[in-house]
Structure 1
Amino acid sequence: MPPMLDVSDEVRAEIGEEETTRLLTGANAPGTYDCTSCRTPGDTGQERTSTVLFVGDETAVLAFAHAACIPSQVVPVTEEQLQGAVRSMGGEEGGTGAPGAPGMPMAQGGGAPVTMPDPTPRQAVLGITCGLIIIEDTLRPALVIEPTGPVARVGATGAGDDFLPLLIEQGFVPQLDLEAPPSRLGGWSVLLATGKLHAVLQPGPGGPASTAWWQAHQPLQVSEGWRAAVNRTNEVYVYAGPAGSIGRQPREDLMRDALARACSRGLLVAATMPLAGT
């Protein structure tokens, strides 16, 4: 019985028809795998499986994921990031391992929280909350991001948490005063389409095209108030803190209080991102 593999047109174009045929017939496909998104076991003979190709400047790594987690796609990364992920897999030069998104963690999934691929053995789940925050006496649309566990760099060892340093390296700025609007971050944007949240986009490696840093499995419904606020300003305040710094808050006033506490402890970074879409 052939494996239940999904190979997108872009993956097919990268790996060629011959390799695609070998995959679809089972000649070069794994029976079982660890999902590159949720890190739980998968079985190509029992469930739809996506082929995910991580492409660097000189190296490509083919990974597999539950089709319910992420679609088949090509993920461009830098060669350094990809080589680091390969080293973390035990020195393999390619194959069917699941490296996760090398370098800066890229969250792909649906709902909140969603799974964030991580190239280290440590798994983190990324919680994303939409809410309104009062800044300068005006309601502003905000996204609040917090992983459930430490996030490490590629190849890192030990129990450190690099989530905030990684974001700062990407251009996020420590938020020292919650009453002030976050600094604008060039190249990043928040994708809203047909009134639903689809993705947070970051600049693509080596070019102007954007790639998804976080992408919903299914578009996320936002409130009427949030959508009205973002349509007025065409920008979103994005706040992020390390695991345990903010927490999942049931009300927007409690969310703001939690952000203020994280800010006072130096555990909050932020950016203003333009709205992409409608």
Structure 2
Amino acid sequence: MLDVSDDVRAEIGDEEADLLLAGDNAPGSYDCTSCRTPGNSERERTSTVLFVGEETAVLAFAHATCIPSQVVTVSEEQLQGAVASITGDSPGRPADADAPQPVPGGQAVLGITSGLVLIGGELHPALVVEPTAPIARPGTTGPGDDFLPLLIEQGFIPVTNTADLPSPLAGWSVLLAAGQLHAVLQPGTDGSGQVAWWQAHQALSVTDGWRAAVNRTQRVLIYAAPVGSIGQQPREDLLRDALDKAAAAGKLVAASMPLAGT
């Protein structure tokens, strides 16, 4: 019942991969590295997920319905955090903290806030992205903020009503591993796969409710607004109010995207 992708096989070698598939080194019972709920490789399809750092690599396991077998490249610091998360030794980090990531064309970082958004009577896992400063179009030095136009060119849709479910955005995905948020991925410019649009310098924790929702929907809603439109809201009802106000002001775009690799 174990899935070993070609990428994972290439990293761990044929001998180790064959031992896993034969059940010799299979985990049996495990905690899914994505949703953090129990799994059993003898009774349900299970993905092998290899975390690769600069010096070390760690093999973890996940429900095949959560994420496919894949190699996740992380920094050595992130790998140690993933190990701590897998073994339950880390309290994690609030997901509403800013995670610095340079943005092309602007001296800014993207702040990421996670929350649940109620649409059509169902709770959906969402990430709200807001830069810390105006974003200039690459190659320009003007004072304007092109954050939303740049995203619309990528396929994000302006939001006029937050009660509507955002449209799927092809080629983009959200990387959730070891129960934590690692990156938002976008299509590479040369067609060679995905690259990080936003990447956490340290994996961000999300709530049990958020993980449960994404495990149910297998999709994440991404909302984005210019600097100063949303702010750090301490409660989800206040976050929804801020999203409503940004939408009414024409300062909100959104898209839905699957978990990485699905």
Structure 1 and Structure 2 fold alike (TM over 0.5): yes
Asked whether 1:117 is paired with 2:102, we answer yes
Alignment-derived partner of residue 273 in structure 1 = 257
* TM-score, length of structure 2 as denominator length: 0.62
- 8 Å CA contact 2:176–2:183 kept in 1: the answer is yes
SS of corresponding position for 1:115: coil
1:68 Cα deviation (Å)?
9.6
Match of 1:140 among 87, 112, 124: 124
SS of corresponding position for 2:259: strand
Asked whether 1:198 is paired with 2:174, we answer no
Q: Which runs of 4+ in 1 moved over 4 A?
A: 67-70
Q: Which amino acid aligns with 2:232?
A: R
SS of corresponding position for 2:196: strand
- 8 Å CA contact 2:135–2:147 kept in 1: the answer is yes
Alpha-carbon distance in 2 for matches of 1:114, 1:202: 17
Q: Alignment RMSD, CA only? A: 2.4
Alignment-derived partner of residue 195 in structure 2 = 211
Alpha-carbon distance in 1 for matches of 2:113, 2:151: 18
Q: Kindly tell me: are residues 181 and 155 of structure 1, through their superposed partners in 2, closer, same or farther at Cα, counting changes over 3 Å?
A: same
Alignment-derived partner of residue 205 in structure 2 = 221
- 8 Å CA contact 1:192–1:277 kept in 2: the answer is no
* TM-score, length of structure 1 as denominator length: 0.58
Alpha-carbon distance in 1 for matches of 2:184, 2:103: 17
Q: Kindly tell me: are residues 176 and 224 of structure 1, through their superposed partners in 2, closer, same or farther at Cα, counting changes over 3 Å?
A: same
- Show structure 1 runs of 5+ residues with no match: 1-49, 51-66, 71-109
Q: Which amino acid aligns with 1:156?
A: T
Structure of higher RCO (CA pairs closer than 8 Å, 6+ residues apart):
2
Alpha-carbon distance in 2 for matches of 1:119, 1:275: 24
Q: Which amino acid aligns with 1:158?
A: G
Match of 1:256 among 218, 237, 240: 240
Identity score, percent: 63
- 8 Å CA contact 1:130–1:144 kept in 2: the answer is yes
**CA deviation digits over 1:218-276, x for unaligned, max 9?**
21111000000000010001000000111110000000000000001110000000112
1:69 Cα deviation (Å)?
10
Alpha-carbon distance in 1 for matches of 2:76, 2:245: 36
Q: Which amino acid aligns with 2:222?
A: V
Asked whether 1:156 is paired with 2:117, we answer no
- 8 Å CA contact 2:185–2:196 kept in 1: the answer is yes
